[in-house]
A and B are shown apart, each in its own frame.
Chain A
Amino acid sequence: MASGPSGSASAELTTPTPGGPAIQARPVSSAPAVSPIWGFIGRRILLGILVLFLVSIVVFLATQGLGDPARAILGRSATPASLAALRAQLHLDRPLIVQYLTWVGGLVHGDLGTSLAAQEPVATLIKDKVVNSAFLVLIAGGISIPLSIAIGSYAALRRDKAFDVAMSLITLVFAALPEFVVGVLLVVLFATTVLHVLPAVTLIPPGAGPWDDLQGLVLPVLTLVLAVTPYVARIMRASMIEVLESDYVEMARLKGLPERVVIIRHALPNALGPTFQVIALNLAYLAGGIIVIEYVFNYGGIGSGLRDGVFNHDIPVVQALAMLIAGLYIVLNLLADVATILVTPKLRTRL
């Protein structure tokens, strides 16, 4: 698409004599490189807080607003008297708004409530679990992200050749499989039935860390890696191919630049931008995936904590963990957006 007439060029202009600047540069608002980004980050943080706030409303309504937690806890055979007593104890007789504000107020101050099943503050309960899950996610992420970038890029560079075709099928299959299916199949394959080389559960004694049972970590990490890598690899490939077919990469080749320079300087930076967002998406997906995987391997993290909380109708635990995971999602997306902006000059100067 044509852009407007070039600013100050006039009909009398001829090729100037060497040694002097020719025409005035077209004025561009000289944006300082730093401050607009902070403004952008600030706006995104505010937006994130807004979304978090909306999420809290959804979580609250889903747990305390829609149904009756007292009945859920006591079961169908509860007597009206015991129901009333529990409701009073849990402050469920107060208006909904008050309940919500009490809860949110507590969250903001670090008071996550008291677990109904364990009669302990939720915060103490989940402390270790958070560490365990974080460890798992970091290891899985640390393996899967570079792996998927490498696979995706290589497949794009050797498009339609053996590696690409094979990878295309493999990533398709694994991307379609639900992660618990992958987990269970791995257990069947390596732990219980076909081979017996790895443990089917991770045993973390209380007080110890997950690093104390490295063998027990292999299968959960492997499952998570297999759950995430195919997605990111496919998108990396797609992004890379789009870049490799772009006009500017063709132009770089037509300039006679060595292929290595074309790939590394011209292609890769443009392919990475969109990939950051997908990486964040998938780290977040990991955070969700652990809910099921931890159950498969009996891993003591926030995933199995959430599952147990739901099973026991332990509302405070469910609420706290839900907010934690949602908060994690939002932070990851924010990081991804910022990273994308940093990598894409075009977006940077629009700020």
Chain B
Amino acid sequence: MSVYNPLATNEPPLVQPRKPSGVLRNALTLGRTRVGLALLVLVAGVAVFGPLFAPHGPQDYLGLLPNKGPAPGALFGTDHIGQDVWSRFLDGGREILFLALASTILGLAIGIAIGLFAAYTKGATDDVLMRGMDVILAFPSIMLALVVIATLGPSYWLIILAVGLTNIPRAARVTRAAAQPIVERDFVGAAEAIGVPRWKILFGEILPNVLSPLMVEGSLRLTYSIGLIAAIAFLGFTPNPNGADWGVMIQENYIALSVQPWGVVLPVLAIALLTMATGMIGDGIARAAAGIDRLRSAE
């Protein structure tokens, strides 16, 4: 089974751009990257700094009736038990962001290492590693997380581990696919011929040449992790049931959607904008990586 990067463009980089910073700089010239970055700054800003501006605490009772629309003191009304929607919203992004970042980094680090190793070593080791990846991929990711939570219950580290685990095989496959043609290139052979140690070849020769597809994959993994973490919370599994979390907010206010939409609309829009942002940035990077090579080969 081959690997497909749904958010990638169709032009695979023929020549790797000289430096990652070059690709990023070019990516920023594209409209979509700029929009994505702006959105990301906006939503992440709300998530990170929101709690500082919240008029009330996330669990404060306002003395108003639950599920009521905007009122003085409650900008967007109250939620299903009478807390301030706006304050909870401002508070609810940190958890998602933290969990998503942690699980993305975990998945990427391990996945990239596995992918590089498999591509370089080839043969039986490669087969075994990829079969292992296949086993993890035999589950829809949310299901794997749910299965683990079934017995152990949701906790922060468990969620990070479970979501990170679903990231690993996808990152590994992309890394391996990108690294395989590099491994065949003669400069790797030249390093082997003079006896450069294996790990140095993996991280010094091969890794720098797969950075472009990895950057794209990184943003894909982040987009996907955010969605997964939010979905898990939305399904009602959270380590912090009373705390504010966008996914949890959607779930608990869903019943009252027809009378008080804000408890659902605010967090859902935030998640939507966040994933759109990371998706656009990833696509911008992918285009920039491909576009640079276009420019180069025309010289």
Which residues of A are in contact with B by a Cβ distance under 8 Å? Answer: 50-52, 54-55, 58-59, 62-64, 66-69, 72, 169, 172-173, 175-181, 184-185, 187-188, 192-193, 200, 230-231, 234-235, 237-239, 241-242, 274, 277-278, 281, 284-285, 287-289, 291-292, 295, 306-307, 309-311, 313, 315, 318, 322, 325-326, 329-330, 333, 336-337
Which single member of B141, B147, B268 contacts A181 (CB below 8 Å)? Answer: B268
> Is B10 touching A51 in the complex (CB atoms < 8 A)?
no
What are 20 A-B interface contacts by the 8 Å CB criterion?
A58-B135, A58-B136, A173-B279, A175-B7, A176-B7, A176-B276, A176-B278, A176-B279, A177-B276, A178-B228, A180-B231, A193-B258, A200-B257, A234-B6, A284-B140, A285-B140, A309-B150, A310-B150, A318-B147, A329-B138
User: In the complex, what residues of B have CB within 8 A of residue A310's CB?
Assistant: 146-147, 149-150, 235, 237
B152 interface hit (Cβ, 8 Å): yes
Most buried by A among B235, B250, B280: B235
Chain B interface SS verdict (over half): helix
Expressed in whole angstroms, the Cα–Cα distance for A287 and B1 within the complex equals: 18
- Cα A288 to Cα B145 in complex, Å, equals 12
Q: How far is the CA of A185 from the CA of B272 in the complex (A)?
A: 9
Q: Which residues of B contact A (CB under 8 A)?
A: 1-2, 4, 6-10, 32, 131, 134-136, 138-144, 146-153, 223, 226-228, 230-231, 234-237, 250, 254, 257-258, 261, 264-265, 268, 271-272, 275-276, 278-280, 283
Cβ-defined partner of A322 (8 Å) among B143, B250, B265? B143
Contact between A325 and B257 (Cβ–Cβ < 8 Å)?
A: no
Q: What is the bound-complex CA distance between A284 and B141, given in angstroms? A: 11
> Complex Cα distance A315/B258, Å?
35
Shortest CB distance B152–A (Å): 4
State in angstroms the CA–CA spacing of A148 and B167 once bound together: 25
Contact among B32, B230, B250 with A172 in the assembled complex (CB-CB below 8 Å):
B32
Q: Which residue of A lies closest to B251 (CB)?
A: A295
Instruction: Give Cα A306–Cα B144 distance, bound, in whole angstroms.
Output: 11
Residue among B135, B140, B230, B276 with max Cβ neighbours from chain A (10 Å): B140
A333 in complex: contacting residue of B1, B135, B265, CB < 8 Å: B1
The 4 closest A-B pairs by CB, nearest first: A288-B140, A176-B279, A178-B227, A238-B10
B138 near A72 with CB under 8 A, answer: no
Residues of B within 8 A of A59 (CB): 147
B279 touches A192 (CB 8 A): no
With the chains together, A66 CA to B158 CA distance in Å?
12
The smallest C-beta distance from B10 to any residue of chain A, in angstroms, reads 4
Q: Are B7 and A172 in contact (CB under 8 A)?
A: yes
Distance A51 CA – B10 CA, assembled complex (angstroms): 31
Task: Give every chain B residue within 8 A of A63 (Cβ-Cβ).
Answer: 147, 150-151
User: Which one, B141, B147, B151, contacts A69 given CB within 8 A?
Assistant: B151
A277 to B137, CA, bound (A): 14
Docked CA distance A59–B173 (Å): 23
B231 touches A292 (CB 8 A): yes
Contact (Cβ within 8 A) B283 A172: yes
A292 contacts B279, C-beta separation under 8 Å = no
